[in-house]
Amino acid sequence: MRAVLFVVILVILVVIAGIATGFLDINQIRGAKAPEVSTTGNGVTAKGGQTPAFEVETGSVKVGTQQTTVNVPKLEVQRPDQNQAVANNAM
């Protein structure tokens, strides 16, 4: 139950962030209408009604490649002289 609640909260935060940054644009293009509900001796009947319609526009992310030259530093390892090895061992 906690995991489901966490996922719902995370989805809500992502939608809010998308709208705030302009990456997500939601416009309602058709309003909702409630159905006509009537009761009779046989039960309840509902007629009509309409769900709302939305137009959603999302931003796009373009990913590409390009060739470039990268300078990599050169690494040199020097072995210590015989005198340096003796001096380090004496300490």
Please give the Cα distance from 36 to 13 (Å, whole number): 36
Tell me: the pLDDT tens digits for 1-10? 899 999 999 9
Average pLDDT over residues 43-58: 91
Confidence check: pLDDT of 88 > 70: no
Domain boundaries of the chain, sorted by first residue: 1-30
Average pLDDT over residues 58-75: 91
Q: Supply the pLDDT for residue 61.
A: 83
What letter represents residue 30's amino acid?
Answer: R
Q: Supply the pLDDT for residue 24.
A: 86
Q: Supply the pLDDT for residue 85.
A: 55
Pairing of strands 24-30, 36-40: unpaired
- pTM over the 0.75 mark: no
